[in-house]
Amino acid sequence: MTRAVLLAASASLAALICATAPAPAEPQDGAAVMARPVSGTVKAIALAADDGPLGAALASEFRNRGYTVVDGKTLASSPSFADLKTQGVDAVLTVRTASGSDDRPQAASAQINSTATGAVLAKITWQNVWGGWRGSKASPAGRVMRKTLAQAAREIADELTRTPL
C-alpha cells in the first residue's frame, strides 16, 4: 500500500512540475533553441547572396543563437566589407555546398569573415556520412545515417561558434 501511495505522490508532483514550468521552444526538427545573448564582438552577420538552402538553414541556426542575420540579397550589388561595416554588419558568412542525389548535403565549406579587418574569424569543411558507395551499391544504413539539411546546419554552426565570434 505504501508503494502505491508513493507512486501516486510522485505522479502528482511530476504533473505539478510540468504544469508550472514553461515548455522550452523547439524548432520543428527537435533541436534546442539557444535564447542566450551573443557573447563575442560579432552581433550581425550578412549571408552571401548565393548560399542556397544550406545558407538559409545556417542563417536560421545563427538567428536561433541570438545573432542578427542580414540577407545578402537585400544589400547592394557588391558591397565592400567597409560598406557592410557602416551598415552595422560585423561579419559575412559564405557557404559552398555539394548536394547528393537525395537532396541532402554531401559536403560543405563555410567561412565567416570580419567586415572590420577582412580576417577569417571561423572556417569549416564538413562532409556528410556515407560508406564510400553511392547509387545502387550504397547500403541502406549509409543512407539512413546521412544528415539532413537542418542537422548539417546545426553541426556547422556548432563548429563555427565553438569560440565566440
137 burial level (CB within 10 Å; 0-12, 13-18, 19+): exposed
Tell which residue, 40, 58, 122, 43, has the closest CA to residue 90: 43
* Contact in structure between 53 and 77 (CB atoms under 8 Å): no
Question: What is the chain's pLDDT, residue by residue, as a tens digit (165 residues)?
Answer: 555 544 444 444 344 434 433 333 334 444 444 444 456 789 999 998 778 899 999 999 999 999 999 987 766 666 788 888 988 999 999 999 987 667 788 899 999 999 999 999 999 999 987 655 555 555 555 556 778 889 999 999 999 998 888
Domains and CATH numbers, the chain: 29-160 (3.40.50)
Q: What is the pLDDT of residue 138?
A: 55
Q: What is the pLDDT of residue 79?
A: 79
Alpha carbons 7 and 141: distance in angstroms, whole number: 41
24: left (phi over 0), alpha (psi -120 to 50) or beta: beta
Q: What is the pLDDT of residue 36?
A: 47
Query: Residue 94 carries which DSSP code?
Result: E
Q: pTM of this prediction?
A: 0.68
Helices (H) and strands (E) in the chain, counts: 5, 5
